[in-house]
């Protein structure tokens, strides 16, 4: 969903390094917290591998609407893998995507911040809604929509703060254009919310141990 589809050179070197620095700090914190655990969860490693492969594959499928939109399953990653493993998953997906030309290498740092925001918001929203509704479908659906909404806001802020080299539009014009893209993204977010809700609901019925159980 929210992904900065710009080529290398769109941001100045300063902002490329700034966003990469923020991303590396987050990755360092995540690795430290994971290493502090006594024993690696082999089941989670398997889930992470599956989510990485699935997300990367879905990420490359462009739907022919409004110039091309796509799903990326970052909220599902947050719900199933959690914030720490989820961060590493989206890092790998962004690196693999850049390797085949889906976004610039220099923008991996910025895109990681966008996707991590989606993972975190979906994770905490999904768990925060547990006391309000026992339905896995509604919890996962609302968490997905919330995560993707915040992801679009982060994407817009990063682009506005960084600026685009060679762009002739004013900040207000750029904001209008980005808002239009975000509106389209949020329309697709409804579809992704339904898909994620159905997937989590199904997993809850077949393997409740993977998501803490509960009715669908």
- Domain-embedded: residue 191: yes
CATH number at residue 72: 1.10.1760.20
pTM of the model: 0.89
Specify whether the CB–CB gap between 110 and 19 falls below 8 A.
yes
The total domain count for the chain is 1
- Domain-embedded: residue 7: no
- Domain-embedded: residue 63: yes
Distance, in Å, from the CA atom of 87 to the CA atom of 96, rounded to the nearest integer, reads: 14
Residues 41-53: tens digit of each pLDDT: 778 888 899 999 9
Q: Distances in Å between the alpha carbon of 43 and those of 19, 40, 49, 52, 210? A: 32, 9, 10, 14, 9
Give pLDDT, residue 168.
Answer: 77
- Domain interval for residue 195: 13-210
- Domain-embedded: residue 133: yes
Give pLDDT, residue 88.
Answer: 95
- Domain-embedded: residue 185: yes
- Domain-embedded: residue 8: no
Specify whether the CB–CB gap between 54 and 20 falls below 8 A.
no
- Domain-embedded: residue 174: yes
């Amino acid at each position: 969903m929210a992904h900065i589809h710009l080529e290398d050179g769109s941001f100045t070197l300063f902002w490329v390094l700034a966003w990469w620095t923020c991303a590396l700090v987050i990755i360092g914190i995540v690795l430290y917290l994971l290493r502090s655990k006594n024993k690696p969860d082999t089941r989670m490693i398997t889930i992470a591998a599956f989510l990485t492969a699935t997300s990367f594959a879905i990420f490359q499928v462009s739907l022919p609407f409004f110039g091309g939109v796509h799903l990326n399953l970052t909220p599902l990653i947050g719900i199933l893998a959690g914030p720490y493993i989820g961060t590493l998953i989206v890092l790998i997906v962004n690196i693999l995507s850049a390797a085949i030309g889906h976004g610039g290498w220099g923008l991996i740092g910025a895109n990681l911040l966008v996707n991590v925001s989606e993972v975190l918001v979906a994770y905490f929203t999904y768990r925060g809604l547990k006391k309000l509704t026992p339905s896995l479908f509604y919890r996962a659906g609302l968490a997905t929509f919330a995560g993707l909404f915040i992801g679009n806001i982060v994407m817009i802020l990063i682009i506005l703060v960084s600026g685009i080299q060679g762009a002739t539009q004013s900040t207000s014009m750029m904001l209008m254009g980005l808002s239009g893209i975000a509106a389209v993204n949020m329309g697709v977010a409804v579809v992704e919310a339904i898909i994620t809700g159905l997937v989590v609901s199904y997993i809850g019925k077949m393997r409740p141990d993977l998501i803490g159980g509960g009715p669908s």
